[in-house]
Structure 1
Amino acid sequence: MRETLPAGGDGTAFSDLVEPYRHELQVHCYRILGSVQDAEDVLQETLLAAWRGFDGYEGRASLRTWLYRIATNRCLNALRDGARRPREQVAYPAEVPMPEPSRRPAEPSWLEPYPDVLLDQIADHRPGPEARYELRESVSLAFLIALQQLPPRQRAVLVLRDVLGFRAAEVAAILDVTENAVTSALNRARGALAAVLPGPDRDSVPLPDSPQERRMVDEFTRAFESGDVDAVVALLTSDAWLTMPPLPLAYQGVADIRNFLATVALTGGRQYHLIPTRANGQPAFGCYLRDPRTPILHAHGVFVLTLAGERIAALTRFTDNSLLARFGLPLSLRAGEDR
């Protein structure tokens, strides 16, 4: 049945209709674009286009599917345009030489962390039988990084089919292509992801806020805040990654990460304070660097931990301090203050 606005359909009535889908649409745009800010911009474009075109909505698809059609195509248009905002790059002290990276990282420079508080606001639209990924897996940094390597249309098809569980016919209508084209794109996307992304291993990842996860978070916090390089390294898997988007630097393995921590991040008695939060379904922190001359602690990006069993498989520090505001965190603290 076609959903209709009340007589005289005003903006408030329209908002009441689309509000239940706002947060899931934003996450959808984020998966395809990799940037929270870009996703919010496209979401606003989507809602404006839906408002302007609501009289043309014929009800042949559900309102939710119709909104996904607009959002997906707006995302593809944004990717086609290729415009990306320049990301702030943290300036390390000139006297500290940067070690040679292990390799150039796979992370796109525009990748941003997604606050879990926004995930908590998604209405419970259970995905269809085609869905292969749970919500937490489908916003994890590993999945987002792998997804960003796909061509835009393959990216959209995989998200619509394997994350959201839309049927092939629905995806074909959303993208205005044939079902055969959808099937072909999905097979290529699955093959590309399988080559770079391990299959879901739900048993090895601690559940959010479980005793195991809290223990790992506490151990990392103590080690990093005390500047204990050995203790931090002891928490890592042997093939762990340390990356710092958008900086084109990546360090893999215990030796390279130890060297970076000892010669850059924790050198010269640098001290940090970590405020716990969550991003992408993973433990995260607002990171603050102590100023040795004042009682002020200055923002130093957002840390996200990727856990694997009893170890940390990846340390990702997003260097753009403006990201802290999305987590409700300040740009500076006074010593002893914990927001």
Structure 2
Amino acid sequence: MTDARQPSATEAAFIAAVHSGDTARFALITERHRRELQVHCYRMLANYEDAQDMTQETFLRAWKKRESFRGHAALRTWLYRIATNACLDFLEKRNDRTPVPSELPDPDSEVLYLQPYPDRMLPEDPQESVVARETIELAFIIAVQHLPPRQRAVFILRDVLGWPASKAADALELTVASVTSALQRARVTMREQLPDRRLDWRSPATHELSNDERGAVKSYIEAHERNDLDGLTSLLRDDLRFAMLPDPGTVTTTAREAVDGWVSNGLFQRGYDDWRGITTTINRMPAAALYLRTPDDPAYRLFTIAVLRIVHGRIAELTGFDATDKPWLGLPPTLRSGESPSSTSPAHGPRHRSHRGTSTPTS
């Protein structure tokens, strides 16, 4: 992302639209950046619906400030600056957008406002896969939320998008020294939050699922389908981290205790024993979209999404999200009895076979 010395053809057209008051042309040009701006807002806010709102707010602010664009910087840079500040203004007004203490015995915290990000809404331009997998996965999004808002903005602009310090300082109306100091502090926090993860966010990284990941999610769904508790237990690591958002209570538990707990809460009991699943990816992670059919209901209804982090073929983290009333996930709301579910095809990933499956009523 480098500033343009001379406006590009697109930017020249944008300036012409500004001068002529051509709202349709203005909207057409800015709309090309919607997906990447929405991902940027999601990293800042960890909530898909908030990111949608702030992306729209970005376009409204861009129209109001249209006369300020002279083409000295790239249009993309100008829009990112507006989006970043829209998110900072949002965070300043909301006191419910910070991590809260978790129930884990070790000092930890939870991001209860976290929402999944559908892969189909990621930018399609390969260049934009600076939306590298590592910077859209849940662990990264959660870790970023532990940074104070302005530090968060500095970190994303500098270490994720690769902006030079001078450009980030200009966007945030800070000095270069302040940006450098904020970035150093942010990197320390990120290392603490992600001690076992790669920290060079700008180097190339694949977003394809590994064979281990594909195999584990397939086995996870099939174990539920067969009511195979031993098989399910064998898929889980003994240091499994489990959360069902937006409910509080992330826990670290053994595999057997996790399965026993799910059974005691109703899994495989009447009303929670007839499931189907669609294999998909969420936040570029393997996931199962799970459908529940209750007695006397002819249809399986979208109920929850289980997002899995796979380590050496076993499930290390399971994050469940309530999937009801979220049409933006792009999943069919129902599956008919006898219908063969088809897997979703993420914007940047392999197509997966689908399987029938079940999950816990709380996962």
Same fold, TM-score > 0.5, yes or no: yes
Work out which of the residue numbers 100, 111, 115 in structure 2 matches 1:112.
Answer: 115
2 CA distance for matches of 1:140 and 1:33?
14
* 1:71-105: CA deviation from partner (whole Å, max 9, x where unpaired): 000000000110769xxxxxxxxxxxxxxx65697
2 CA distance for matches of 1:209 and 1:317?
19
* 1:258-298: CA deviation from partner (whole Å, max 9, x where unpaired): 23222125242523211122110111222112213333323
Aligned residue in 1 for 2:62: 50
Report if aligned partners of 2:36, 2:123 keep a CA contact under 8 Å in 1. no
- 1:157 to partner: Cα distance: 0.9
1 CA distance for matches of 2:96 and 2:124?
27
Unaligned runs of 5+ in 1: 86-100, 128-133
Report matched runs for 1:83-232 at 5 Å: 102=104, 106-122=109-125, 124-125=127-128, 135-197=132-194, 198-200=196-198, 208-232=208-232
Report if aligned partners of 2:245, 2:321 keep a CA contact under 8 Å in 1. yes
2 CA distance for matches of 1:315 and 1:271?
21
2 CA distance for matches of 1:170 and 1:329?
39
Number of residue pairs matched? 315
Report matched runs for 1:248-287 at 5 Å: 248-253=248-253, 254-264=255-265, 266-268=267-269, 270-287=273-290
Aligned residue in 1 for 2:234: 234
Matched letter for residue 257 of structure 2: D
- 1:141 to partner: Cα distance: 0.3
CA RMSD of superposed structures (Å) = 2.5
1 CA distance for matches of 2:88 and 2:170?
15
Report if aligned partners of 2:302, 2:323 keep a CA contact under 8 Å in 1. no
2 CA distance for matches of 1:187 and 1:312?
33
- 1:158 to partner: Cα distance: 0.8
Structure 1 residue 22 and structure 2 residue 23: aligned?
no
Counterpart of 1:155 in 2: which secondary structure? helix
Counterpart of 1:321 in 2: which secondary structure? coil
TM-aligned CA distance change 1:148 to 1:122, over 3 Å: farther
- 1:123 to partner: Cα distance: 5.8
Q: Percent identity?
A: 39
Matched letter for residue 235 of structure 1: L
Q: Which moved more, 1:290-299 or 1:206-215?
A: 206-215
- 1:208 to partner: Cα distance: 2.3
- 1:116 to partner: Cα distance: 0.6
* 1:197-216: CA deviation from partner (whole Å, max 9, x where unpaired): 132299xx996244333222
Work out which of the residue numbers 317, 321, 324 in structure 2 matches 1:318.
Answer: 321
Report if aligned partners of 1:105, 1:248 keep a CA contact under 8 Å in 2. no
Aligned residue in 2 for 1:303: 306
Report matched runs for 1:325-336 at 5 Å: 325-336=327-338
Q: Tell me the TM-score normalised to structure 2 length.
A: 0.79
* 1:191-241: CA deviation from partner (whole Å, max 9, x where unpaired): 111112132299xx9962443332222111101232322212211222121
1 CA distance for matches of 2:199 and 2:172?
31
- 1:335 to partner: Cα distance: 1.7
TM-aligned CA distance change 1:44 to 1:84, over 3 Å: farther
TM-aligned CA distance change 1:282 to 1:126, over 3 Å: closer
